[in-house]
């Protein structure tokens, strides 16, 4: 049961970090560079979000 809860929590964390990174990248790109920038920086945000989704403790280290 604990393993299932850990898996669900990690899945929620990963989806939220990837989504947030993509959203921030795309919105910044749209505001400053148009739709091409939105697509390009959305991909960059996706990559950063995937990196941060791999381990929640990395985000906590950045926040300290």
pLDDT at 59 (0 to 100) = 81
Q: If 0-12 CB within 10 Å is exposed, 13-18 middle and 19+ buried, where does residue 20 land?
A: middle
In whole angstroms, how large is the CA radius of gyration of the chain?
A: 14
pLDDT at 64 (0 to 100) = 80
pLDDT at 58 (0 to 100) = 81
SS3 (DSSP) at 17? helix
pLDDT at 60 (0 to 100) = 81
- Positions of E strands within 1-64: none
What pLDDT tens digit does each residue of the chain (64 aa) get? 899 999 999 999 999 999 999 999 999 999 999 999 999 999 999 999 999 888 888 888 888 8
CA distance 34 to 37: 5
């Amino acid at each position: 049961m604990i393993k299932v809860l850990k898996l669900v929590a990690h899945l929620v964390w990963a989806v939220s970090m990837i989504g947030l990174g993509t959203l921030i990248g795309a919105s910044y790109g749209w505001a400053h560079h148009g739709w091409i920038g939105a697509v390009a920086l959305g991909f960059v945000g996706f990559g950063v979000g995937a990196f941060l989704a791999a381990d929640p403790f990395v985000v906590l280290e950045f926040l300290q």
